[in-house]
Amino acid sequence: MEGNRQPAKTGHMNCNGKQIESRKAPHCSAFTQIRAEHASKRDTMTPSGTIAASGGLKAPSAARVDWVDYAKGICIVMVVMMHSVLGVELAAGQTGFMHVAVAFAKPFRMPDFFLISGLFLPLVIDRDWRTYLDRKVVHFAYFYVVWVTIQFGFKAPAFAAETSWRDAGLLYLESFVEPFGTLWFIYLLPIFFVVTKLTRRIPPPAIWLIAAALETARVATGWTTIDEFCARFVYFYSGYLFAPYVFALADRARNHPAWALAALATWALVNAGLVLCGASEWKIVSLVLGFAGACAIITMGTLLARARWLNFFRFCGEHSIVIYLAFFLPMAATRTLLLHTGVIPDIGTVSLIVTIVGVIGALAIWQAALRLNANFLFERPDAFWIVPKKAGARLQPGSLSSPGSAGRPSIPETAVIDR
């Protein structure tokens, strides 16, 4: 995703998006239902390796929250778009019409992803440490090791050609300290999960204020983990701390679509105006735009779920980890092919095609892996679980529509399934 140091001349970009007193939560039947449902099924839900565990494998056992999948789908497409557009423009030495969309999304692209990643943490944070570390650390570590090795395998020859194979090997080892390529998101999430659990005895308003201050401080050490932790933790922690308010927002958007559309239009104008004049990068303003954009994407996801439109985004959200892990390969291959052949002269069009192929190509790689019995690429094998998986009955996907809804979902999946 955004923001990562790499050796010079490797072709990898630094695309950094940089860019309260506790009160009783408002009435939010959706979140209350999820909490109650999860409590009753905590010992019976089937753990799943990743969001990818459907389509050829058994579908995830937990029912899903529709607007969450839409929101994640929008976010993952924006992430692929950012890497595709900036990669094409860097290689071509010019910008295209897609650059406008990337700039517009910059203030909220990653804040929304991190906020949603923390949204369901209140339901599982009380787990014992062994189970918690298995689901929140070992899980992510497995996929990081597998996919950093795959990514590095494609890029190592270029690194070795510039320096030596010895230096390339050292760079691979360094990737376990300094996140490599696009994989910094799953490197950072376990740290967020652990820090949040470790600081539970500290008053939440104090943690939130410190996190907000770190975002505003514009920490720039040159190390991705430190810099991105400071820039993003406030959004993750807010998802955890203010989850009932987020669900209340989604309920209101679903029940008052006209007002929600008006709010979205207002937000889009304000966000575009601040981006255009450069104010979106200002301190405090960037923090506010991050939260405003996250709320806008949640509202947008809720309205799309209500209307059952653009189900492609919902599908992408359901399989966001698949796209996140695998999009780099079809993206890079398509970019190289189109730019070298020059068959399409317009850079904006090239960027759009590379984005589409990046998303669809990642899903194609996943399907190929399933058919070739290479499930380990997207599903954590039993041997890498330190706490056994718990089997349970499959549930049908549900949505959070209104109080007393008959189809109440259990804990949904966030950026990457945790269980």
pTM: 0.80
- Count of all residues that appear for the chain in the document: 419
Burial (0-12, 13-18, 19+ Cβ within 10 Å), 126:
exposed
Q: Helix 224-241 crosses helix 109-117 at what angle (to 10 degrees)?
A: 60
**Is the four-CA dihedral 415, 329, 340, 158 of positive or negative sign?**
positive
Residue 59: which residues within 8 A CB-CB, separation 6 or more?
Answer: 53, 394
Range of the domain at 92: 29-384
Residue 77 resides in a domain: yes
Residue 5 resides in a domain: no
Residue 403 resides in a domain: no
**Quick check: 22 and 394 in contact, CB under 8 A?**
no
Split into its structural domains, the chain has a count of: 1
What's residue 388's pLDDT?
85
What's residue 181's pLDDT?
84
Rg (CA), the chain: 21
Residue 409 resides in a domain: no
Residue 163 resides in a domain: yes
C-alpha span between 384 and 50 (Å, rounded): 13
DSSP 355-368: HHHHHHHHHHHHHH
Burial (0-12, 13-18, 19+ Cβ within 10 Å), 356:
middle
What's residue 163's pLDDT?
87
SS3 content of the chain, % helix, strand, coil (to 5): 65, 0, 35
Main-chain dihedrals φ then ψ at residue 129, nearest 5 degrees:
-60, -35
Residue 392 resides in a domain: no
Neighbours of 24 (CB within 10 A): 6
C-alpha span between 182 and 28 (Å, rounded): 36
What's residue 58's pLDDT?
34
**Is the four-CA dihedral 40, 43, 46, 52 of positive or negative sign?**
positive
Residue 247 resides in a domain: yes
Average pLDDT across each block of 10 residues of the chain; the chain has 419 residues. List them in order: 43 41 42 48 32 32 77 96 96 95 95 94 94 95 96 89 89 92 93 97 96 96 95 97 96 96 97 96 96 97 95 94 95 96 95 97 96 94 88 34 32 37
C-alpha span between 33 and 410 (Å, rounded): 8
